[in-house]
Amino acid sequence: MPDTLKGNLIVGQSGGPTAVINASLAGVVQEALKHSEIGSVYGMLHGIEGVLKEELIDLGKESPDTIELLKQTPSAALGSCRHKLTDKDYDRILTVLKAHGIRYFMYIGGNDSADTTARISRLAQETGYELRAMGIPKTIDNDLAFTDHCPGYGSVARFVAEAVRGAGLDTEAIGVVDTVKVIEMMGRNAGWITAAAALARIDGDPDTAPHLIYVPERRIVMDKLLDDVQKVYDRLGYCVIALCEGARGEDGDLLSATGGALYTDSFGHKQLGGAADYLCRVIADRLKLKARFDKPGTIQRMMQSQQSPVDVEEAYTVGATAVQKAVAGTSGYMVTLVRQSNDPYRWTTGLARLEDVANAERLMPDEFLNAEGNNVTQAFLDYARPLIGPPLPPVARLKKYMVAKKA
C-alpha cells in the first residue's frame, strides 16, 4: 500500500468545452469529498492559467445540489484555456501549489491537457515535491490514443446524427430548389465527428441522408467526388454531404484555401473553416447544381438536449476514477475507457501514461471507412451506435401512393 498523502486537491478544465465535461468535474468533486486524505477541493479558473494567476475557487463550499447539477450542464463551468506551458511558468506553478497545500492535481482535457499534466507531474518529481497528477480525458474530436473513445464524443455524435437527419428531410422536401446540401463538421485531422452523421440514416436506408461522407483520413479526388454527387442526384434528385472541416485534397492541402487562416493557438492548432463553402462553389460551377451549406460550428459540442446518457455516465466515472487512483498512489496517468462488448454495450476503465497520450493522435482506422473514401462501414456503426444512448426519435416516411392522373 502506498504511503498516505494528505493535502488539498485542485481540478481544472482545458481545451474545447463539451456537453459532458462538467460531469467529469462533478465526478472529481463528489469523489474527492469522500476521502479523508483530501482536505479542500479547489477549482482553477480557466485551466492552468488559473494557477498561474492564483485564481482559485473553493468547490467544497458549493452546495451539493449545484455540484450534482453539473452532470447535466454543458460547457466548462470552471472556464477553459489553451495555454502551452513555458519554462518561465514552472516556478510560479510550484509556488502556488505549495502555498495552497495542493497534493492532488486533476486536469480534464485532451492531448494538450495531457501534455500540461505530464509536465507538472515531471516538475513535481524533479523538485522533490510530492504531488499526484492525473489526466481525465475529454474531447469531442475522439482523437485521444489509448482509449476506446473520449467523453464528449457520444453527445456530439448524437447532435450530428439528429442535425443531419433533419437537414436530410429538409433537403428531400425542397430538393427541387436546394438540390445539394453540404454540412460541415468539426475535426482537424480526424473525421470521427463527421463519420457520426451516418447514424442519421433512417432505418439504415442508404438513400436517406447523408448520402456521402468525406473525412481527413481519405484524400478527396475532386473529379471522383463530383461523380459521386452526380450519381446520387441522378438517383434521388437531391444529395446531402457530410464534410469534415479538415478534409484535404489530393495534394494534402486543406480542401478550402481559406481553411486555417483565421487564428492559430499557442499549441499551433489552426482554426479551420470554409471547406463546405468551397465545395458548394465547385459543385455549382462544375455540375450546375444549386448547392448550399450548413455549419453547426461550436454549437454542436454543447447542446444540453443532445447529451448522451452513456456519455454522461462515462464522463462522471473517469473523473471519479482519477481521484480514486490518485489517492491509491497513482500519478502521471490518464484514465481511459475500455470497451468490453458492443451488444450489449459494456465498458470499464483503464490507465495510460500521460506522456504517451500527449504525443499521439488516434485517427479513424481503415476498417471504419469504405474503399471508395465516401462513406463509413458497418464496423464504424457498430462502434459508434452504443455511445449516443437511446435510438434517435422515429420519423414517419410516407409511402406516397400515387393517384392516377385523369386530367
Distance between CA atoms of 271 and 148, rounded to whole angstroms?
26
Q: What is the mean pLDDT of the segment spanning 283-312?
A: 93
Which helix or strand (DSSP H or E) is residue 346 part of?
strand 345-353
The three grid cell numbers given for residue 157, joined into one nine-digit string: 455524435
Residues marked as catalytic: 141
In the chain, residues under CATH classification 3.40.50.460 are 155-296+363-387
Mean pLDDT of the chain: 94
Torsion of CA 225, 229, 231, 237, to 10 degrees: 180
Provide the pairing of β-strand 102-109 with 333-342: unpaired
Residue 78: left (phi > 0), alpha (psi -120 to 50), or beta? alpha
- Note the pLDDT of residue 17: 95
**Residue 345 neighbours by CB distance under 10 Å:** 12
Contact 287, 241 (CB under 8 A): no
Which residues neighbour 161 within 8 Å (Cβ) at sequence distance 6 or greater?
196, 197, 199, 200, 388, 392
Q: What are the pLDDT digits (tens) for 259-283? A: 344 444 444 545 456 899 999 999 9
Mean pLDDT of 161-166: 97
Q: Average pLDDT in the 124-147 region?
A: 97
In which element (H, E) is residue 96 found?
A: helix 89-99
Compute the average pLDDT of residues 243-259.
Answer: 82
pLDDT at 93 over 80: yes
Q: Is the pLDDT of residue 209 over 70?
A: yes
pLDDT at 10 > cutoff 50: yes
Mean pLDDT of 113-126: 96
CA distance 153 to 145: 14
| Cell numbers describing residue 91 | 516556478
Cβ burial 224-235 (10 Å sphere, 16+ → b, else e): ebbebbeebbee
Helix (H, G, I), strand (E, B) or coil at 136: strand
What is residue 143's three-state secondary structure?
coil
Question: 302 Cβ partners below 8 Å, 6+ apart?
Answer: 17, 18, 19, 74, 75
**Rounded CA separation 28/34 (Å):** 10
The CATH class of 155-296+363-387 is alpha beta
**196: nearest Cα among 3, 399, 392:** 392
In degrees and rounded to multiples of 5, residue 113 shows phi and psi of -70, -35
pLDDT at 276: 94
pLDDT in tens, 366-407: 999 999 999 999 999 999 999 999 999 999 999 999 999 999
| Chain region(s) in the chain for CATH 3.40.50.450 | 7-150+305-358
Mean pLDDT of 161-167: 97
Separation CA 149–CA 142 (nearest Å): 6
Q: Which residue has the higher pLDDT, 27 or 188?
A: 27
Enter the CATH code of domain 7-150+305-358.
Answer: 3.40.50.450
Supply the pLDDT for residue 255: 86
- CA angle 154-159-160, nearest 5°? 95
Q: Give Cβ neighbours of residue 132 (< 8 Å, ≥ 6 apart).
A: 5, 103, 104, 105, 326, 327, 329, 330, 331
- 40 is written with which cell numbers? 479542500
pLDDT band at residue 258 using 50, 70 and 90 as cut-offs: very low
pLDDT of res. 68: 98
This prediction has a pTM of: 0.94
The residue type at 114 = A
DSSP assignment of 43-61: EETTTHHHHHTT-EEEGGG
21-40 residue pLDDT tens: 999 999 999 999 999 999 99
**Whole-angstrom distance, CA of residue 86 vs CA of residue 142:** 27
pLDDT of 174 reads 87
Q: Using alpha carbons, select from 275, 120, 116 the residue that is nearest to residue 191.
A: 275
Residue 274, pLDDT score: 87
pLDDT of residue 272: 56
Cis peptide leading into 344, omega within 30 of 0? yes
Model confidence at 204: pLDDT above 60: yes
